[in-house]
Amino acid sequence: MSKRPSPTVRRRRLARELRRLREAAELSTTQVTRELGWAAGRINHLENGRHRTDPSALRDLMRLYRIEDTKKVDAVLALGRQAREKGWWHSYSSVLDADYLGFEAEASTVSVYQPAVIPGLFQTAGYAALSARASGAVTEGDIDQVITARLERKKLLRDDLNLLAIVDESALLRLSHSPEVAKEQISHLIDLSEGVNRVTLQVLPLSAGLHASMGSGFVILDYADESDPSLVYLEGRTGGTFLEKKEEVDDYRQVLTSLMRSALSENESLKALKNLMKEV
């Protein structure tokens, strides 16, 4: 899958740019609303990235903000156009968090820790189906969609994505009651560890004891373009939460660093996976 502009990322970038331009024009959201005759809250929705913007609205804002540089205006309109597109994940929004998939799609680095399951980008089709059924969050009829979406996400591994995953040993041991799925999933993890240069996989053993992220998983998303600040994603049963403040992201980076120290090294993790494979 070639990396294409993500509408979700572009909408966030557009929101930040619209806020910057308004502040540079020294206008409040109330003044913008009054000058353009917009409904209350519309400008706030635009600046929070929760509203798809039509070209006429963007042109009105550029005129109000006195942006006369045609290249600048064209750049904002292009962002708006990209933000209105639909990503491949749109078809799977009923079974997976579409906002997260949108942010993941353009990330240059994904760092993930999950305490109880194999991270999504590492899941086989069989494991994805087993996990979806166990969660009870989707119907049996949705399972095929979950599997297809997982396989689409895995195509990201073929591009220039840097992926760091801390796999909890408890997630591996939970596979013991499904030998066929276990063999396929563990074999896949071994293949990834041995064959993809941009993938770093570490196993967090039970012997590590208490650690910095007990009971909660997280994902840190970093981007190549400095216009797109890093994000932390916290997955919930009914929806996820995104953290954007620098101090919040820095805190989770410290947690990740601590987990990496507690986990087995890459070579030790590969040996542990191969030993586990013999026991399945």
Mean pLDDT of 226-233: 93
Order of all β-strands in the sheet with 199-204:
199-204, 162-168, 109-114, 218-222, 231-234, 241-243
- Which range, of 1-5, 44-48, 188-192, averages the lowest pLDDT? 1-5
- pLDDT for residue 227: 86
Tokens of 188: 């896949």
d(CA 22, CA 36): 13
Contact present, 180 and 188 (Cβ < 8 Å): no
Three-point CA angle 164, 119, 151, nearest 5°: 105
Which residue carries 């064959």 as its tokens?
A: 195
pLDDT at 219 over 90: yes
Higher-scoring residue by pLDDT: 132, 74: 74
Share of the chain above pLDDT 90, in %: 57
Q: Which long-range contacts (CB under 8 A, 24 or more apart) does 24-31 make?
A: 24/65, 25/64, 25/65, 25/66, 27/64, 27/65
pTM of the model: 0.85
pLDDT in tens, 97-152: 888 888 998 899 999 999 889 998 899 989 988 888 887 766 777 888 888 887 78
Query: 92-279 sits in which CATH class?
Result: alpha beta
Q: For the chain, what is the mean pLDDT?
A: 88
Which amino acid type is present at position 102?
G
Token pair listed for 6 = 């993500």
Q: Could you give the 3-state DSSP secondary structure of residue 252?
A: helix
pLDDT digit string, tens, across residues 6-56: 888 999 999 999 999 999 999 999 999 999 999 988 999 899 886 778 899
pLDDT (mean) for 236-247: 84
The larger pLDDT score, comparing residue 256 to residue 90, is at 256
The percent of residues above 70 in pLDDT, for the chain, comes to 95
Q: Residue 157: is its pLDDT beyond 90?
A: no
Cβ 174 vs Cβ 116: under 8 Å: yes
Specify the pLDDT at position 222.
Answer: 97
pLDDT score, position 94: 72
Higher-pLDDT residue of 71, 240: 71
Report the distance separating Cα 204 and Cα 192, nearest Å.
17
For the chain, the structural domain boundaries read 7-83, 92-279
pLDDT of residue 2: 45
Residue 4: per-residue pLDDT: 65
- Extract the runs of DSSP E, i.e. beta strands, from the chain: 109-114, 162-168, 199-204, 218-222, 231-234, 241-243
Q: How confident is the model at residue 1 (pLDDT cuts 50, 70, 90)?
A: very low
What per-residue confidence (pLDDT) applies to 88?
A: 78
At 95, is the pLDDT very low, low, confident or very high (cuts 50, 70, 90)?
Answer: confident
Do the beta carbons of residue 84 and residue 53 sit within 8 Å? yes
Name the residue with higher pLDDT: 113 or 216.
Answer: 113
Distance CA(16)–CA(226), nearest Å, equals 12
Q: Which residues contact 254 (CB under 8 A, 6 or more apart)?
A: 212
Instruction: State residue 105's pLDDT score.
Output: 87
Q: Which two tokens stand for residue 199?
A: 């993938």
Ramachandran quadrant class, 222 (left: phi over 0; alpha: psi -120 to 50; beta: rest)? beta
For residue 118, give the DSSP letter.
-
Contact of 172 with 208, CB cutoff 8 Å: no
SS3 237: coil
CATH H-level, domain 7-83: superfamily: lambda repressor-like DNA-binding domains (1.10.260.40)
**Is 153 in a helix, a strand, or coil?**
helix
